[in-house]
Amino acid sequence: MLRAKRGKTGLRTVAEEMGDVSVATLSRIEQGKVPDVDTFIKICRWLDVPTDTFVVRNEGETLSQTDNQQTIVAHLRAERELDPETIQMLVKLVNLAYTTKSPRPVSEKQE
């Protein structure tokens, strides 16, 4: 997610934006290493996502509607291919979809 959001922006620039995070640390994280708690929080703030976006749940445990909504919004905000205005419109659409009652359960097939 970090690599997706930064796009072509260099690690040095991202490290400066986050503050007190080294380029080497960001590089290790992009290679799959787990950051310490302080760095993790700085990354979440930079990504503008809640920390629970990255929490692994137990097998069989389902995401709540709020978790699903937050995950979708987090992925949209990390998207670099779309312009910011389009992303903001999609975020509003997702939020509206989750606050508006559906006429039938989501599990029913759409025809």
Cβ atoms of residues 73 and 94 within 8 Å: yes
Alpha carbons within 13 A on the beta-carbon side of 106: 6
Q: For residue 109, what pLDDT band results from cuts at 50, 70 and 90?
A: very low
At 79 the pLDDT is: 77
User: pLDDT by residue (tens digit) across 8-65?
Assistant: 899 999 999 998 899 999 999 999 888 888 898 899 889 888 887 776 666 655 556 6
Range in 45-49, 58-62, 71-75, 98-102 the model is least confident about: 58-62
At 48 the pLDDT is: 85
Cβ atoms of residues 54 and 29 within 8 Å: no
Among 55, 100, 48, CA closest to 75: 48
d(CA 98, CA 83): 23
Domain spans of the chain, in order of start: 1-47, 58-102
At 111 the pLDDT is: 45
At 20 the pLDDT is: 87
What's the one-letter identity of residue 17?
E
Q: Which burial class, exposed, middle or buried, applies to 9 when counting CB atoms under 10 A from its CB (0-12, 13-18, 19+)? A: exposed
Mean pLDDT of 91-105: 73
